[in-house]
């Protein structure tokens, strides 16, 4: 079984998720071959097809698709694997359509060689197996722990003739945020379990008592209870504070992807079986609205 791993870089820096794809292939027990439109190959003991980023652009769906199709032509892989990122969301279906094969999106685990996906806001999981001989997959960021960047790739340059009406112009820096969670040493995050907007103030106060910043899960942001700059997860910020306190957060894979590299994780949840318990160093089974005032009192007295 062979997996062609479509890696990503940004402005010369190989993204960590590329090494998550390697971990995915290793878990699958597949021979791995990597493809990157970039400058330097990932550090891995495997063959890497390297396409010149100056020629093909940081991103260009027409040209990058041609590069991937050329690598598929050379390697005849069983699986063509992308990260479930904005790059993968855009490119994977284009490749699947060109190959006329099915796509399995957002794989979070491998069980007996089949692919596990989440559904119902990550409350349930289902297992699927592609029917055809080949499939395109996207793998959820954070679902597989990245392998260490070490090894020496057998690099082969890949070039394709192709034209596109699109041109990569550049990245636009995000607006300056009111909070920089990336630098925070302590983050206390509010999840849907806090119940209503007014209760977020309690978690914000708790964050202050810890000397940290307020984070949030996506539903809390989507509901307009706090600004998006506080969101942690795949569509928010990736954080790695010394202490992360998750208040009323279930631990969906998209949230975990953004915070699981925290040094120490405390989860406060009414449900002892909430998935966050698997990532937490300490799981406090409690109503966070009852616990928070007690905790604040202790912290202030300390
Ligand atoms: C493409 C995509 C991208 C996404 N990106 C993100 C992202 O960046 N960040 C993110 O967070 N999510 C993201 N999500 C959403 C994610 O799948 C989950 O839906 C979300 O993380 C769930 O948020 P939650 O844990 O706050 O809510 P829920 O899953 O509803 O969990 C609430 C938890 O609170 C507990 N609870 C309830 N009441 C209390 C109480 N009084 N005290 C203590 N515990 C209580 C419950 O037991 C439960 O575990 C994304 C989803 C998709 C499809």
Average pLDDT over all residues of the chain? 94
Q: Is the shortest distance between the CB of 222 and ligand 1 below 6 Å?
A: no
All CATH 3.40.50.1220 domain ranges of the chain, comma separated, are 181-301
As annotated, the residues of the chain forming the CATH 3.40.50.620 domain(s) are 2-157
Nearest to 245 by CA among 198, 282, 297, 286: 282
Give the domain 2-157 fold: Rossmann fold (3.40.50)
Query: 269: Cβ below 6 Å to ligand 1?
Result: yes
> How much of the chain exceeds pLDDT 70, in percent?
99
Q: Are the C-beta atoms of 6 and 19 separated by less than 8 Å? A: no
For residue 276, the CA-to-ligand 1 centroid distance in Å is 10
User: How far is the C-alpha of 249 from the C-alpha of 199, rounded, in Å?
Assistant: 14
List b or e across 35-59, with b for residues whose CB sees 16 or more CB atoms inside 10 angstroms: bbbbeebbbbebbbbbbebeebbbb
Comparing 142 with 178, the larger pLDDT belongs to 142
The candidate with the shortest Cα–Cα distance to 94, out of 71, 66, 70, 72, is 66
| pLDDT above 90 for 26 | yes
Q: What is the pLDDT of residues 268-299, one digit of tens each?
A: 999 999 999 999 999 999 999 999 999 999 99
Per-residue pLDDT at 1 = 96
Q: Is the CB of 199 under 6 A from ligand 1?
A: no
pLDDT in tens, 226-250: 999 999 998 899 899 999 999 999 9
Q: What is the pLDDT of residue 183?
A: 87
Q: Measured between alpha carbons, how far is 37 from 52 in angstroms, rounded to an integer?
A: 6
The length of the chain is 302
Name the residue of 228, 269, 288, 294 to mutate for ligand 1: max ligand atoms within 8 A of Cβ: 269
3-state secondary structure of 114: strand
What ipTM was predicted for this assembly? 0.99
- In this predicted structure, what is the pLDDT of residue 120? 78
- CA 125 to chain centroid, in Å, comes to 17
The finding on whether 285 has its CB within 6 A of some atom of ligand 1 is no
**Looking at domain 181-301, which of 3.40.50.1220, 3.20.20.140, 3.55.40.20, 3.40.50.10330 is its CATH number?**
3.40.50.1220
Residues 6+ apart with CB under 8 A from 198: none
Sheet of 47-52: strand order equals 124-128, 114-119, 103-111, 135-139, 79-83, 2-6, 31-38, 47-52, 154-157
Ligand 1 mean position, distance from CA 107 (Å): 18
Residue 259: pLDDT band (50, 70, 90) is very high
**Three-state SS letters, 189-205:** EECHHHCCHHHHHHHHH
Q: Is 216 within 8 Å of 230 (Cβ atoms)?
A: yes
Cα separation of 203 and 66, whole Å? 49
Q: Which atom of ligand 1 is nearest to the CA of 217?
A: 11
270 lines ligand 1 (CB under 6 A): yes
Q: Is residue 191 lining ligand 1, measured as CB closer than 6 Å?
A: yes
Beta-bridge partners for 269: 285
Which residue's C-alpha comes closest to atom 36 of ligand 1? 193
Q: Give the pLDDT confidence of 181-233 residue by residue, as tens digits.
A: 988 999 999 999 999 999 999 999 999 999 999 999 999 999 999 999 999 99
Please report, in angstroms and rounded to a whole number, the separation of the first and last CA atoms in the chain.
58
């Amino acid at each position: 079984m062979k997996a062609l791993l479509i890696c990503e870089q940004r402005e010369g820096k190989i993204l960590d998720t590329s090494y998550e794809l390697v971990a995915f292939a290793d878990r699958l027990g597949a021979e791995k071959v990597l493809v990157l439109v970039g400058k330097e190959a990932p550090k891995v003991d495997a063959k890497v097809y390297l396409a010149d980023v100056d020629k093909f652009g940081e991103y260009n769906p027409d040209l990058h698709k041609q590069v991937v199709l050329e690598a598929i032509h050379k390697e005849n892989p069983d699986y063509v694997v992308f990260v479930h990122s904005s790059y993968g969301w855009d490119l994977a279906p284009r490749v699947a359509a060109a190959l006329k094969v099915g796509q399995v999106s957002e794989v979070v685990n491998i069980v007996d060689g089949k692919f596990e996906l989440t559904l119902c806001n990550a409350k349930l999981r289902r297992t699927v197996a592609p029917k055809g001989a080949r499939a395109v997959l996207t793998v959820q960021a954070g679902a597989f722990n990245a392998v260490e960047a070490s090894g020496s790739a057998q690099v082969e340059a890949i070039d394709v003739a192709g034209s596109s009406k699109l041109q990569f112009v550049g990245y636009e820096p995000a607006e300056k945020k009111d909070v920089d969670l990336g630098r925070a040493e302590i983050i206390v995050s509010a999840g849907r379990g806090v119940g209503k907007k007014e209760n977020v103030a309690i978690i914000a106060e708790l964050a202050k008592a810890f000397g940290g910043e307020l984070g949030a899960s996506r539903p809390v942001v989507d509901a307009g209870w706090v600004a998006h700059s506080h969101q942690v997860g795949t569509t928010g910020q990736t954080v790695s504070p010394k202490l992360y306190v998750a208040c009323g957060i279930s631990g969906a894979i998209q949230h975990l992807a953004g915070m699981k590299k925290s040094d120490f994780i405390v989860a406060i949840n009414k449900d002892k079986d909430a998935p966050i318990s698997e990532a937490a160093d300490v799981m406090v089974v409690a109503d966070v609205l009852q616990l928070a005032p007690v905790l604040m009192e202790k912290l202030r007295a300390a």
